Structure 1
Amino acid sequence: MSLRLTRRTLLLAAGVGALPVAHARALVRPWPADWAVPSLRLPDLQGLEHTLEPLRGQVVVLNFWASWCEPCVAEMPSLLRLAETRANDGVIVLAVNYQEGADKVRRFLDTVLGEVPGSMPVLLDRDGAAAKAWTPRVFPSTVLIDRDGSPRWAVIGELDWTGEQASTLLAPLVAGPAPGQRR
């Protein structure tokens, strides 16, 4: 692990730079400008590999979760609703599972959502490296990425993704220009 990631992880865990939020279970912070954007290359439940590069031009809601995490279970239906209702706005939700097998993840999704969602790709972080690179390993953790592929917000903890706070966070990202356009 690099010194930068160690420092970043400690700062995230301590809540340094945190903004006050109305939702008591979520801590919302801007993504620090001096932190590098980690790579992401993970398989989905069908074994197809996903990266962030092809998603430039869309707003990415990168959510890290686990089936044993009660706040993750509570948050999952609102993530799916966000994926379904904001797809036409160029919003894509990637649900990254932390270190669980595909069969267990499918059973969880069937139980909690009644289906394995087609509108929300579910990725498998089998070794936990992606969660380690992107989050303080507190679940759920979500990173909001703008249309240029730059992380803008980190949300640590459960958030109602169909609520006012989520809309406030997403609105400027959705309204932002596509890559290459002038701001």
Structure 2
Amino acid sequence: MHLDLATTSAAHQAESVARLKDLGATPADVGQGDVPWTVLADPEGNVFCVLEPREIYRDTGPIAAVVVDCADPRAMARFWGEAMDWTLHEVGDDHAVLRSAKGVGPYLEFLRMTDVKTVWNRVHLDLMPYPGDDQEAEVARLGALGATGADVGQGDVPWKVLADPEGNEFCVLTPG
């Protein structure tokens, strides 16, 4: 799982990359080859991309997308679309794209990868039930969709840690 950062022009992309390097980011090679975006790693080694300007991301804010590597983009889009009630924008064998039904914020993108997940994700999603909803009922609803309980060493906390059908951890917070 990683973040894709949006830019508004080639100059903005170059400025963003320079600023992020000044903050401690380093170039990263994840086998991307010759691409128009820049792959960096933060000081703790978390990889992220600074994208070239793309019309689709012009109104997302600084985070264009949260990208999840997965074995089955269609199944993941089905699960997360129902889990969050987001709109499916694209789906194929190699990728799927969701976004809030209100058309705001970043996209959630699933990319087919052959690597097997072996460690917990340092980047994960936190889901906030709607005000007045019951956290336990939401956990049960997500379980019916295919989520399972997960222990990442969280101890006694007010949120619930679950894993999606491919083992990606996420949290269900207490309703606000």
TM-score by length of 1: 0.28
- Determine which structure has more spread, i.e. the larger CA radius of gyration: 2
Of Structure 1 and Structure 2, the greater helix share is in 1
Q: Which protein, 1 or 2, shows the higher relative CO under an 8 Å CA cutoff with sep ≥ 6?
A: 1
Q: When you count strand as a share of all residues, which structure comes out higher?
A: 2
